[in-house]
Amino acid sequence: MDFRRSGNGAAMLSGLLMSDQEDFEEPEIETLPLDAWHRRKGARMVAFAGYHMPIQFEGIVAEHNWTRNQAGLFDVSHMGQLMVTGDKAAEELEKLLPGAIASLKPGKVRYSLLVDEDGGIRDDLMVTNATPWIEGDEEQGTEGHWGEPAYYLVVNGATKWDDIGHLREHLDDAVTLTHMDDQALVALQGPNAATALNRVMRNVIDDMVFMESVTHDFGEWPLRITRSGYTGEDGFEISVPAEFAEALADRLCAEIEVRPIGLGARDSLRLEAGLPLYGHDITTETDPVSADLGFALTRKRREEGGWMGHEKVMKVLADGPAQKRVGLAIEGRMPAREGALIYSGDKQVGRVTSGGFSPTLERPIAMGYVDTALAEEGTDLEVEVRNKRLPAKVAKLPFVPHRYHRGK
Amino acid sequence: MARYFTDEHEWIDVEGDTATVGITDYAQGQLGDIVFVELPDVGTVIDKGKDAAVVESVKAASDVYAPISGEVVETNGALEDDPALVNTSPEEDGWFFKMTIGDKSQFEGLMDETAYKSFCDGL
């Protein structure tokens, strides 16, 4: 047999399979701080975004279900962690991001996009207002105050070098851009993530809700803990100096609820959660409106503009997009993968951008773009897989409800 | 009954004029959780080296090529309800299809179990 690759996340799978490495260009595959740790835990490693990464440990379905029921620890150290600092950091970032950054309060996190001049999506990212609070000193007679404005960005691994170039090119020289490449990043995700983390470090996350971030010195480990993730579950992303990453991973995995999870399950979890994967569901060929990411365009900033691609994106918003990103529930058991064509009758009306088998729902699900007139939930379509037409219905995203901890 | 193995990780059981074809334990281990198997229709004449079946795991689709030429005479209906049989019993209950054997010389060059095992050890 041929361990052919098809479907989204193809590069992720090269370890399950045997041959080529079409999705990455870097000739040298680098190792990340948790490399040896993964191998000790029995991971099957693959090259992804230029790094050796764990695709799976005990198996994708088992890991997927464990994360939905307990808590999974994911290594996402391939992602780019950037810090943008300076008095003008917020207003400079607002030239490149369509979201409100200046009004983002310290400790708050926002999902945003890097949009290019044509309105295409260069990357999607998380931005945190990481401005530090400087304690006052009674003896010196100083009062507590906010320090230099700082914004912590987490960008995709495969795009981070381009992002850094893009940011450096367009941000004012008075703004400092730091690539925090000596930091590892792990994500603890699942309904029991908070329980487990609370047992490891007490009272740190008690008051946190989804899309909030704190710094915490856990002994000598300076951590940044953000309540966010890419699975649809409650959970945390923890930035840790590379030298302490193994100890932190061990500490978290010592909790009965926590097991290491590979990239394979990360992809099936995010697909069920309806979250787009950069390079597949969103690219420079797609714009925020067609991608159904309008929530990342803050109302005030839509009106005022001043961000790259504003005019183009507003035109799509005004005219309505030709196509829209939708979920597809596929009948039967045969999955439809990235690239599968979508039909309404004889007419091709779209294309699948990610697809696979949902372990939670035990049936195939997909995401793709279809003509806007056919993007209505419940619309009957067909997806072509190996010359067969599979009945598919436009489905509400997420496929599996989010369970974020929003408090109250 | 003789069992042969291919370097494409298929096994072939030969009984009289009929061959039963499946994928090896090594192959299922590489693929991971199998969620769907697309089998050829009974009556299909397949040529050695051409697409015969498709195995879908959670993340990817993989082709299974016909290890020999012949006509498909039976497919494993149990895989329709329980494709995970390929994971749990790849070299027995998880068989894919039975086919006629056009020409017995086709088995020349295939591996026996010992040869296949050392082939996998070298991967």
Q: What is the mean pLDDT of chain A?
A: 93
- Percent of chain A at pLDDT above 70? 93
| Residues in A touching B83 (Cβ below 8 Å) | 333
- The answer to whether residue A139 is domain-embedded is no
Please give the pLDDT value at position A4: 52
- The answer to whether residue A355 is domain-embedded is yes
pLDDT at A1 over 80: no
Please give the pLDDT value at position A309: 98
Write the pLDDT tens digit of every residue in A338-386.
Answer: 999 999 999 999 999 999 999 999 999 999 999 999 999 999 999 999 9
- The answer to whether residue A215 is domain-embedded is no
pLDDT at A245 over 60: yes
Please give the pLDDT value at position A16: 37
Nearest to B33 among A9, A60, A364 (CB): A60
Q: Does the distance separating the beta carbons of B32 and A7 come in below 8 Å?
A: no
Please give the pLDDT value at position B55: 96
Write the pLDDT tens digit of every residue in B55-77.
Answer: 999 878 999 999 999 999 999 99
Query: Binning pLDDT at 50, 70 and 90, where does residue B123 land?
Result: confident
pLDDT at B16 over 70: yes
d(CA A150, CA A157): 21
Using the Cβ of B68 and the Cβ atoms of chain A, whether some distance falls under 8 Å is answered with: no
Assess contact for A200 and A189: CB atoms under 8 A: no
Structural domain of residue A192, as residue ranges?
10-75+185-206+221-272
A197 and A342 housed in the same domain: no
**The domain spanning residue A332 has which CATH number?**
2.40.30.110
Lowest mean pLDDT segment, chosen from A17-26, A146-155, B24-33: A17-26
Instruction: Please give the residue of chain A at the shortest CA–CA distance from B123.
Output: A18
Six token digits for residue A103: 């009004």
Q: How far is A98 from chain B (nearest CA, A)?
A: 33
Whether ipTM exceeds 0.90: no
- The answer to whether residue A315 is domain-embedded is no
Instruction: Please give the residue of chain B at the shortest CA–CA distance from A335.
Output: B56
Lowest mean pLDDT segment, chosen from A25-34, A353-362, B32-41: A25-34
Assess contact for A218 and A201: CB atoms under 8 A: yes
d(CA A57, CA A197): 22
* Beta-sheet pairing, A71-75 with A258-261: parallel
Average pLDDT estimate for A105-125: 98
pLDDT greater at residue B109 or residue A307? A307
User: Per the omega criterion (within 30 degrees of 0), is the bond before A260 cis?
Assistant: no
Query: Binning pLDDT at 50, 70 and 90, where does residue A316 land?
Result: very high
d(CA A318, CA A325): 17
Please give the pLDDT value at position A229: 97
Candidates B26, B41, B59: best to mutate against A (most CBs of A within 10 A) is B59
Write the pLDDT tens digit of every residue in A272-312.
Answer: 999 999 999 999 999 999 999 999 999 999 999 999 999 99
pLDDT at A10 over 70: no
Query: Binning pLDDT at 50, 70 and 90, where does residue A155 land?
Result: very high
> B residues 82-101 near A, CB within 8 Å?
83
Using the Cβ of B35 and the Cβ atoms of chain A, whether some distance falls under 8 Å is answered with: yes
Using the Cβ of A350 and the Cβ atoms of chain B, whether some distance falls under 8 Å is answered with: no
The CA–CA distances, whole Å, from A129 to A29, A152, A288 equal: 32, 6, 23
Write the pLDDT tens digit of every residue in A47-101.
Answer: 999 999 999 999 999 999 999 999 999 999 999 999 999 999 999 999 999 999 9
pLDDT at A20 over 60: no
| Residues in A touching B65 (Cβ below 8 Å) | 1-2
d(CA A215, CA A194): 16
pLDDT at A15 over 70: no
Nearest to B58 among A2, A5, A356 (CB): A356
Q: Name the strand (E) or helix (H) holding B30.
A: helix B25-31
Query: Binning pLDDT at 50, 70 and 90, where does residue A7 land?
Result: very low
SS3 B118: helix
A390 and A258 housed in the same domain: no
The CA–CA distances, whole Å, from A73 to A49, A159, A383 equal: 19, 23, 34
Q: How far is B16 from chain A (nearest CA, A)?
A: 24
Average pLDDT estimate for B30-47: 95
Using the Cβ of A361 and the Cβ atoms of chain B, whether some distance falls under 8 Å is answered with: no
Does the pTM surpass 0.80? The reply is yes
Pick the CATH number of B2-118 from 3.10.350.10, 2.40.50.100, 3.40.50.720, 3.40.120.10: 2.40.50.100
Q: Does the distance separating the beta carbons of B57 and A1 come in below 8 Å?
A: no
A265 and A394 housed in the same domain: no
Q: How far is A334 from chain B (nearest CA, A)?
A: 6
Q: Name the strand (E) or helix (H) holding B12.
A: strand B10-15
Residue bearing tokens 């839509």: A302
| Residue that is last in its domain, among A251, A272, A293 | A272
A63 and A191 housed in the same domain: yes
Residue extents of the structural domains in chain B: 2-118
Six token digits for residue B79: 């895989």
d(CA A269, CA A274): 9
- The answer to whether residue A396 is domain-embedded is yes
Q: Does the distance separating the beta carbons of B83 and A333 come in below 8 Å?
A: yes
Q: Considering its fold, how many domains does chain A have in total?
A: 2
Angle at A52 between CA A48 and CA A54, to 5 degrees: 85
Average pLDDT estimate for A156-183: 97
Instruction: Please give the residue of chain B at the shortest CA–CA distance from A266.
Output: B59
Please give the pLDDT value at position A19: 38
Q: Does the distance separating the beta carbons of B56 and A357 come in below 8 Å?
A: yes
Q: Does the distance separating the beta carbons of A1 and B65 come in below 8 Å?
A: yes
pLDDT at B54 over 90: yes
Q: How far is B61 from chain A (nearest CA, A)?
A: 6
Please give the pLDDT value at position A184: 98
Using the Cβ of A355 and the Cβ atoms of chain B, whether some distance falls under 8 Å is answered with: no
Using the Cβ of A54 and the Cβ atoms of chain B, whether some distance falls under 8 Å is answered with: no
pLDDT greater at residue A20 or residue A330? A330
d(CA B86, CA B33): 9
Nearest to B58 among A61, A334, A386 (CB): A61
d(CA B103, CA B114): 24
The 3-state secondary structure of chain A reads CECCCCCCCHHHHHHCCCCCCCCCCCCCCECCCCHHHHHHCCCEEEEECCEEEEEECCCHHHHHHHHHHCEEEEECCCCEEEEEECCCHHHHHCCCCCCCCCCCCCCEEEEEEEECCCCCEEEEEEEEECCCEECCECCCCECCEECCCEEEEEECCCCHHHHHHHHHHHCCCCCEEEECCCEEEEEEECCCHHHHHHHHCCCCCCCCCCCEEEEEEECCEEEEEECCCCCCCCEEEEEEEHHHHHHHHHHHHCCCCEEEECHHHHHHHHHHCCCCCECCCECCCCCCCCCCCHHHCCHHHHHHCCCCCHHHHHHHHHHCCCEEEEEEEECCCCCCCCCCEEEECCEEEEEEEEEEEECCCCEEEEEEEEEHHHCCCCCEEEEEECCEEEEEEEECCCCCCCCCCCCC
Query: Binning pLDDT at 50, 70 and 90, where does residue A17 land?
Result: very low
Pick the closest to residue B43 from B20, B74, B65 (CA basis).
B74
- The answer to whether residue A152 is domain-embedded is no
**What number of C-beta contacts closer than 8 Å exist between A and B?**
86
A394 and A263 housed in the same domain: no
| Residues in B touching A59 (Cβ below 8 Å) | 32-33
pLDDT at A24 over 80: no
Residue bearing tokens 């509400």: A396
Query: Binning pLDDT at 50, 70 and 90, where does residue A131 land?
Result: very high
Q: How far is B8 from chain A (nearest CA, A)?
A: 4
Please give the pLDDT value at position A407: 86
Using the Cβ of B65 and the Cβ atoms of chain A, whether some distance falls under 8 Å is answered with: yes
CA-CA-CA-CA dihedral for B113, B117, B118, B123, to nearest 10 = 140
Q: How far is A318 from chain B (nearest CA, A)?
A: 38
**The domain spanning residue A261 has which CATH number?**
3.30.1360.120
Average pLDDT estimate for B23-49: 95
- Percent of chain B at pLDDT above 90? 86
